[in-house]
Chain A
Amino acid sequence: MNSAAPLPETAAPRAVARAAPLRTRLRARGLDGVTLLALPAVLFVLALFVYPFLYGLYLSFAPAKGGALANYARFFSQPFLYDTIATTLLLAVPVTIVNVAAAVPVALRVRLMRHQRLLTTVLVIPITLGTVLVAEGLLTYLGPRGWVNRLLLDFGLSDRPIRLLHNYWGVFLSLVISGFPFTFLLVLSYVTGIDPSLENAAAILGARARARFARILLPLLVPGLAITLALSFVQAFSVFPSAVLVGAPAGATRVIAIAAYQAAFEQYDYSMASAIAMLMAAVQLLIVVALLMLRGLVYRGPAATGKG
């Protein structure tokens, strides 16, 4: 527009827009009085998440002695430290897979049940108990004189008590028990999001149960399962109490959280502890990003069609 002549048609609306009060313009962008209600939450997140994270990040690059990267260099030079990543992965990955693999068929069945709420409540109780109580329970239940071993001995399935505590399996079982309800609830919400008429349509078109699962239910569940795997993994990867209580914290279940704990509260090296925590976050992030990228490759739309 290089015309010198005045253009009242276009100038007028611009003048109106300029004249609109700030309040109206803010509201058009979704900012009004109600937005202020989010302020406490924002402050909360800043104070309890963003600030500690950034401070920890800074701390990890400020070791007591050596250069900025001294902590990270030390971590990756000592098997005692860097092995904890493998140890933790070796626990968290199988636990996550077992939980999701068990949750899918249970959720598919529960979806069809009439007393769904009762069963869901029962399955969810372990969440409310907390890791420590579950670990305490396992100590008596799985111990050499616990029910499991007594049954095995009484029925002659084993001639001596099998060791299920203070080793890998103790932590594994404890993580499965405390992680399953969470995984199950997530999977159930994804499963119930699939329109049941899709399965009926497939059945009428001649698909048997196995084909219906493989061709309809599973493809529609995969995006949800990727999210479930990511969240369950993160939960299992940060294992700490059960690794100490029912595991072998000096050996097979010396997980990365224990390394961080020891650096912080046994050696009082907060800088090193921060570095370990940052590495822990990095590994989790890596796996979560990988899962979400895989999720991007499949269909992610709604699990129902038609106009509602």
Chain B
Amino acid sequence: MALASRDFRALRLDAIGRAFGAVQALREVTLTVERGEFVALLGPSGCGKSTALNCIAGLLALTEGSIWLDDRRIDPLGPEDRGFAMVFQNYALFPHMNVRRNVGFGLVSQRRPKAEIARRVEEALALVRLGPQADNLPGQLSGGQQQRVAIARAIVVEPPLVLMDEPLSNLDAKLRLEMRAEIRRIHNLLGCATIYVTHDQDEALSLADRIVVMRDGAVRQVGPPEELYARPAHPDVADFMGYRNLVRTLVHPAPGGVAVTVAGAELLGTPVAAATNGAAIVAIRPEDLTPSADAPIVAVVASAEYRGRDFAGVARAADGTELYFRAETRVRPGEAIRLGAPAARVLVYAAT
């Protein structure tokens, strides 16, 4: 019987950690997820995001810390007593059961009356638009349909918390966009909390209310997508949020902010976390680095790719620095250009 009902206020991770032998896969993760919130755990593979999800689900025991659902401690409970739901990367549909029985599995475990199970399964299937496939086996469905079954199976038990482990990574690009919208639509409709693990920053940005960026088993930054996109707090986070130009350099104060030297030219920048003097790392998105006649950095185009709306190019400066930029008009390899970025979009971090 599910202990947790939908009427909860928050799930709280209190300094949780998990070690595999000598390897610390997760360390000191503290996070509160409110009811109705969509939180994305974002990070490269091996950063501990899936470990964190499995710990919350109860599939992995903690080696440190505790997990609380409101004022009830749930980390000593097994997965079957937490009442959460999970969507797996490989969907983990029961291959010998048809769609209807797959979706009804959780309700049967809760020993609900037959009529109620039938009604709720139909509702869930309608929600994911899978009514006509109800009697098929999972093996007869396409990847996108299997994904919908996995989502229906998770939400039909009306869990307080839905855990998703890279659920879109096995789908093709077009279907991924469709299912992304679908997942958010269902989340809004149900009002439960969702924790979503992904390594795709676009997915995290478009889906989440809050993003938790992880690296080496620890949380690097937590914040709304806009904040992470515009002002990552750490060069690692910037790297992950699409700041492809990361240059080690020196910073010194300048009128109206700081100035940095990039590829032999001086750029005005915005210091993050009091990086105003000394060794620094400069982060600039390719979209913010554009050619113009009076821009400071002189470079030669090494390659350019047509992307429909614009060109994505790589330029090499005289000192060998490679810079990723965007241009609205065609640039050709070998062409000399001048590149620059607005001061607000040149983020300067203290080098550690």
| Chain A residues proximal to chain B, CB less than 8 Å | 195, 197-198, 200-208, 211, 215-216, 219-220, 298-299, 301-308
The yes or no answer to B31 lying at the interface (CB within 8 A) is no
Chain B, 217-244, CB within 8 A of any chain A CB: none
A114 to chain B, nearest CB (A): 11
A301 to chain B, nearest CB (A): 5
How many residue-residue contacts, CB under 8 A, span A and B? 97
Partner of B170, one of A198, A207, A304, A306: A306
Are B157 and A205 neighbours in the complex by a CB distance under 8 Å?
Answer: yes
Closest to B172 in A: A307
Closest to A201 in B: B92
Are A301 and B80 neighbours in the complex by a CB distance under 8 Å?
Answer: no
Q: In the bound complex, how far is the Cα of B153 from the Cα of A219, in angstroms? A: 19
Q: Sort chain B's interface into a size bin.
A: 20 to 34
Between A and B, 21 residue pairs with Cβ closer than 8 Å are: A198-B95, A200-B57, A200-B86, A201-B86, A201-B93, A202-B94, A204-B57, A204-B82, A205-B80, A205-B153, A206-B1, A206-B109, A207-B105, A207-B109, A299-B137, A302-B139, A304-B95, A305-B138, A306-B91, A306-B143, A307-B170
Q: In the bound complex, how far is the Cα of B78 from the Cα of A171, in angstroms? A: 45
Are B59 and A305 neighbours in the complex by a CB distance under 8 Å?
Answer: no
Closest to A206 in B: B109
Contact of A200 with B79 at beta-carbon distance under 8 Å, contacts A205-B109, A206-B110, A304-B90 already known: yes
Contact of A200 with B109 at beta-carbon distance under 8 Å, contacts A206-B80, A207-B80 already known: no
List A contacts of B43 (CB < 8 A): none
Q: In the bound complex, how far is the Cα of B137 from the Cα of A202, in angstroms? A: 17
Are B92 and A305 neighbours in the complex by a CB distance under 8 Å?
Answer: yes
Are B79 and A305 neighbours in the complex by a CB distance under 8 Å?
Answer: no
Chain B, 32-65, CB within 8 A of any chain A CB: 57-59
Q: Which of B2, B95, B106, B157 has the most CB of A within 10 A?
A: B95
Q: Which of A201, A205, A219, A308 has the most CB of B within 10 A?
A: A205
Are B79 and A204 neighbours in the complex by a CB distance under 8 Å?
Answer: yes
Interface of B is mostly: loop
New A-B pairs, 12, CB < 8 Å, besides A195-B90, A198-B92, A203-B79: A200-B59, A200-B92, A201-B86, A204-B79, A204-B82, A211-B109, A219-B96, A299-B95, A299-B96, A302-B139, A306-B89, A308-B90
Are A301 and B92 neighbours in the complex by a CB distance under 8 Å?
Answer: no
List B contacts of A215 (CB < 8 A): 94, 105
The yes or no answer to B85 lying at the interface (CB within 8 A) is yes
Are A303 and B95 neighbours in the complex by a CB distance under 8 Å?
Answer: yes
The yes or no answer to B88 lying at the interface (CB within 8 A) is yes
Contact of A305 with B91 at beta-carbon distance under 8 Å, contacts A205-B153, A211-B109 already known: yes
Partner of A206, one of B83, B88, B170: B83
Closest to A198 in B: B92
Closest to B96 in A: A299
The yes or no answer to B84 lying at the interface (CB within 8 A) is yes
Closest to A202 in B: B105
List A contacts of B90 (CB < 8 A): 195, 197, 304-308
Are A197 and B92 neighbours in the complex by a CB distance under 8 Å?
Answer: yes
List B contacts of A208 (CB < 8 A): 80
Q: In the bound complex, how far is the Cα of B146 from the Cα of A303, in angstroms? A: 15
List A contacts of B105 (CB < 8 A): 202, 205, 207, 215
Chain B, 237-294, CB within 8 A of any chain A CB: none
List B contacts of A220 (CB < 8 A): 95-96
List B contacts of A207 (CB < 8 A): 80, 105, 109
Are A203 and B93 neighbours in the complex by a CB distance under 8 Å?
Answer: no
Partner of A307, one of B78, B86, B137, B143: B143
Q: Which of A197, A201, A202, A208 has the most CB of B within 10 A?
A: A201
B185 to chain A, nearest CB (A): 23
Are B95 and A204 neighbours in the complex by a CB distance under 8 Å?
Answer: no
